[in-house]
Structure 1
């Protein structure tokens, strides 16, 4: 193994009331990036603007980031930033808002580049020439506040592009559990299983190390112990705080160890059908674990430390408890027609195999293996 690196935000503020740290920033202008109406509805946008004002920082709002942020949304935000010239970018909301803000930041600092030029790992130009970045998540799932990852959708090509660049790790992450307390139950379930998937894939990744494994295993433990409570008792502060921290810990693991086939496949089936990312991960995860066990002993390693018999069984119990279907044909969130599935299966499988996350999956999967896994996860078949 060659030279490795381990990157996380320089500062992480966590715990109830940590949003107040915005009032201590030094700067002049901030661009606040958010998604739909929830941050406004629950008063968090007003709080953020007031706290920035207290710090002597004027701000603009870039809102309307969609659940699967598009290239056009990124370009719209970058244009607004260029006109305002902020020295802070403050992303607040779900993972989509945070992901979009990261890439807006890139084009704000480098308006001359194209989206196609940053898709390949290692192609992102240096950031922090004009602004620093703060991430404030409202969901406990994507861990975008911790990571070097962003996922942007090209709706015309029906592809989600994972963009990876060490410079996109935020300068500051603020983990205030009062924000995720507003999540509806189904979003708590989907984002919580996204945490589980991040941690599990980071644990099994061929790039996992002694630096990343402890974060992954502790994140899995926190999800098993707290997600059912957060799902059933949305105002339970202890469960919300533990899930928020689990998300960040899983993010620390996977941003340094990368992921695997679950994310490769979720990116592509999400691009084709519009299914929520966390839901796609939750459905796919048991199938990929079954496939990976043939070439990895890391699940057994984690199970021994966690004191559980079978991680896949525990994941399936969580899914069932929260009403997540065991296969895509039973999923009602979007139209998973068998006709369309069969039409796109070959293309989707090839695109998933080519996804950067496939590179760190255990074993040596091929495009046919990915097709077999899609088929199993659609129909609920046993993995060969």
Structure 2
């Protein structure tokens, strides 16, 4: 059994959870053993340090309860438990791993709303010396069962919820533009991205009623799993190709994703998928205007959550960072790199990585003639959090026609009910509580929503 990680250790007692499992099956010969506690991004050694205990116990079921680090280590343990003669070097060959399930069934229970590892075909491990990511990639790594229960996130601290949510947001948005995406992955990823953008602020707003906050956490939990499904079938993109500053400077992966995503979207350029997301958020304009508005929307969200715009703002040393940029630019994650929807290479990597340290925050594009937002109506949602989108159809309300500020004529329907970028935070207050001590990227009093 593999039930622990920093989230589980601090907020959920795994032994109490396992005791409840044992009590639920009287008369059985079930034996449960607790194996590992993962306190950080997973290292290669986390697999082999715990493998002997797993082989000695010979489990029929491997249960991973925790965040992405726990689930990735569980995948690695399952792989080498059933294939003891496989070398780690051989395991890095993409989509060449042997089938799993001969000895044990894997069940994953995520306790954070970010990685989507419970439905993904990947497991990431950091080399302890080089700080370079090593990716295991095969559909055989997808767990046989995933239990998606948002109650595990009910008491998650806002800082951890933010980190997790930014990871899920990046997965979803990158999946929409990945070269391997298709109509199905785009539909799943688009909805996941909208849900994260919409519900993450509420999930960490301690001024909101508890019921509203928990409903937002549930939406986030489902969105993270949806994003995991999407990237399993499409891959990610440029952020996950060049996210090496995270392991190098011990930054949480979600922080790296949140900082890098707007820069990466600028580098990728206007994409129809970005325009689609912006329209769903209530913006209008041509593809370029919508692309710019979506980037501004994400930057505004980051500021509202207290996230820095640059790695320098997250506490990264300038000299150490610039020394490593040439190396990082030549070490993209090859599988994600192939899915980037633009020309790429070492020069493209440097174009992304150099401004990320010190570039000042760009002023968000104004809501002017090229784009306008739909007034926020989220607080009028019925109990239970169900959305009512204005859409045409038999028995339904007609889409609202908006007048174009530039031309003064009706310019087509705009979806209503989605939280557009109002000039105030949807929940009223812009504060997110949490212990910010020691977290250069996180402020307990984030900058206001522009």
For Structure 1 versus Structure 2, the TM-score category normalised by the shorter chain is: 0.7 to 0.9
Distance of 1:300 and 1:251 partners within structure 2: 22
Match of 2:81 among 97, 108, 112: 108
Equivalences for 1:112-131 in 2 at 5 Å?
112-131=85-104
Distance of 1:381 and 1:363 partners within structure 2: 25
Distance of 2:188 and 2:255 partners within structure 1: 23
Distance of 1:45 and 1:203 partners within structure 2: 40
Q: How many residues align?
A: 347
For the 8 Å contact 1:71–1:153, the answer to whether it is kept is: yes
Match of 1:342 in 2: 322
Match of 1:63 in 2: 36
**1:164 offset after TM fit, Å?**
1.2
Residue 231 (str. 1) matches residue 172 (str. 2): no
Residue 303 (str. 1) matches residue 303 (str. 2): no
Distance of 1:138 and 1:181 partners within structure 2: 9
Please give the per-residue CA displacement for 1:23-67, whole angstroms capped at 9, x wherever unaligned: xxxxxxxx2332237346533442234214533321111122131
Match of 1:270 in 2: 246
Distance of 1:368 and 1:229 partners within structure 2: 39
CA change 1:37–1:220 in 2 (3 A) is closer
Distance of 2:148 and 2:329 partners within structure 1: 36
Match of 1:42 in 2: 12
Match of 1:284 in 2: 260
Distance of 2:15 and 2:109 partners within structure 1: 11
Distance of 1:256 and 1:72 partners within structure 2: 28
Distance of 1:263 and 1:45 partners within structure 2: 35
For the 8 Å contact 1:375–1:381, the answer to whether it is kept is: no
Distance of 1:259 and 1:98 partners within structure 2: 19
Match of 1:317 in 2: 300
Aligned-pair RMSD on alpha carbons?
Answer: 1.9
Distance of 1:380 and 1:242 partners within structure 2: 33
Residue 184 (str. 1) matches residue 157 (str. 2): yes
**1:137 offset after TM fit, Å?**
0.7
Equivalences for 1:233-252 in 2 at 5 Å?
233=206, 235=210, 236-252=213-229
Distance of 2:151 and 2:343 partners within structure 1: 43
Higher Rg: 2
For the 8 Å contact 2:2–2:70, the answer to whether it is kept is: no
Q: Which runs of 4+ in 1 moved over 6 A?
A: none
Distance of 1:242 and 1:64 partners within structure 2: 28
Please give the per-residue CA displacement for 1:141-171, whole angstroms capped at 9, x wherever unaligned: 0111111111111111211112211011111
Distance of 2:189 and 2:276 partners within structure 1: 12
Of stretches 92-101 and 120-129 in structure 1, the one that deviates more from structure 2 is: 120-129
Distance of 1:68 and 1:257 partners within structure 2: 24
Distance of 1:54 and 1:257 partners within structure 2: 39
**1:132 offset after TM fit, Å?**
0.9
Distance of 1:94 and 1:359 partners within structure 2: 27
Match of 1:257 in 2: 234
Q: List runs of 5+ in structure 1 lacking aligned partners.
A: 1-30
For the 8 Å contact 1:160–1:270, the answer to whether it is kept is: no
For the 8 Å contact 1:40–1:46, the answer to whether it is kept is: no
Residue 216 (str. 1) matches residue 158 (str. 2): no
Distance of 2:308 and 2:84 partners within structure 1: 43
**1:76 offset after TM fit, Å?**
2.0
Match of 1:366 among 317, 323, 345: 345
CA change 1:341–1:121 in 2 (3 A) is same
Distance of 1:205 and 1:256 partners within structure 2: 10
Match of 2:176 in 1: 203
For the 8 Å contact 1:32–1:59, the answer to whether it is kept is: no
CA change 1:293–1:45 in 2 (3 A) is farther
Three-state SS of the structure 2 residue aligned to 1:328 is coil
For the 8 Å contact 1:33–1:101, the answer to whether it is kept is: no
Match of 1:82 in 2: 55
**1:365 offset after TM fit, Å?**
0.8
For the 8 Å contact 2:8–2:111, the answer to whether it is kept is: no
Three-state SS of the structure 2 residue aligned to 1:178 is helix
For the 8 Å contact 2:194–2:277, the answer to whether it is kept is: no
For the 8 Å contact 2:245–2:251, the answer to whether it is kept is: yes
Distance of 2:320 and 2:197 partners within structure 1: 35
